Amino acid sequence: MIMSSFSPQQIRSHLNALIEPPRKPSLPQLFLGGACNPTTWRQEKAIPVLEQEKIPYYNPQVEEWSPELIALEREAKERSFLLLFVFDPNLTRGLASLVEVAYLAALGRRLVIVRPNIKKLRVMATGNRISRIEAKCIAEAFQWLDGIRLPNVSVFDTLEEALIYLKLQYLSRGKRKKRHSSTGFNVSRYTKTPKRTNASALQDAKYAQIRLLEAYKFLPSLPLVISDFTPDVYCGGDTQFCENGHSNKTWVIPRRTRRSFKLTLSIQSLCREFYFYISKDNLWLVDQMEAAFAIGSGKKVTLCIEYLSDDTRSQNSSGYSSLASTPQDTFQPPPTSANTDLPCVLPTHPPYPHLACPANLALSPTAIKDHNRSRAYLKSLAEETNNAVLGHPLRGLRDLM
């Protein structure tokens, strides 16, 4: 006689599994991304249309935030066939959302972006008047966004136009063969990049170069850059080097006047590594977006990020960052003492004087939180993808390992 090694509870559980019908796979959904509070476009405009058209969606905007929402939101992004980002600088700056969009665009995720007409951009945010410098910073960020016309990114002037497009895309999703992203990126998972080993370093570098070139080659009308050498490092932000020693690396620093985004992007496509010094003396957001784009493209990126004065502290809420569900300790800037007396060989001269942050510029507490939020998001992004984040600016390329 053969004795069963299974308990009655195990046998009952097994039988129930056989009887219970398999669960239907969840339908692909639309992710309603971007800054949450105090925006109301989700409840007032988008959700009524989506429910009428029976389009499943995920809304990250909640009344009370909890840490469990982080995992739920990340899973929702992975399962979403499209991600909708709506920007309204008249209500909130949405700086971290702009950095996130740049990263997702490089990954090859399908994005639908609604952004205001730059020519009609007002200088109001959250009920408080913002400075001319901040308004210029936001306007140039949207100009950069208009310039990365990738096949996986669609940009609209109004939410109504975007919703019509989303309806057509959702209804036609079953009639088209599933295609991989034309930028060649993995769009199905959001995972940490495994650490490189010596055996796979060359292969990883080659793959990263292909990914970046694939992303950049869809940018229209890029100026043709003809050169006999390929720069090793692109140095962005407030980077200044004074090479007193020998360095076997070639590097390029953008000129210190207003630059052409098209020319900059074509030069970046040739570079092997990136170094960005995001100083506390500059409000230039495009550098952060370019860094996020390079990270999403699989390039090796080194960052040095300084925060603005942290006299005010953010409260946990669903609108804390572009991730909409982020705890305070993750995106909380370090104490002010950690941001001063940084060792730097040369005095800081912001490369973009029209966007420099003068000492007498009084930023509101909301502005400080918004600018620190985008920097903290970029820092977290670099750490998750195993890119280096330095505690002080580089003295020279010989210090870049």
* Domains (range + CATH), the chain: 26-171 (3.40.50.450), 201-399 (no CATH)
Give the confidence band of 117 by pLDDT, cuts at 50, 70, 90.
confident
Spatial separation of the C-alpha atoms in residues 372 and 370, rounded to whole Å = 6
Beta carbons of 275 and 365 less than 8 angstroms apart: no
pLDDT tens readout for residues 119-178: 666 655 555 677 778 888 888 899 888 887 789 999 999 999 999 999 999 888 755 544
Q: Judging by DSSP bridges, how do beta strands 128-129 and 124-125 pair with one another? A: antiparallel
Provide mean pLDDT across the span 43-69: 89
pLDDT at 183: 44
pLDDT tens readout for residues 218-263: 444 444 444 555 778 888 888 776 554 556 777 777 765 556 677 7
* Sequence-ordered list of residues with C-beta below 8 angstroms from that of 124, at least 6 positions apart, any chain: 89, 90, 130
pLDDT at 72: 87
Encode 219-243: b = buried (16+ Cβ within 10 Å), e = exposed: beebeeeeeeeebbbbbbbbbbbee
Spatial separation of the C-alpha atoms in residues 5 and 8, rounded to whole Å = 10
pLDDT score of 350 more than 50: no
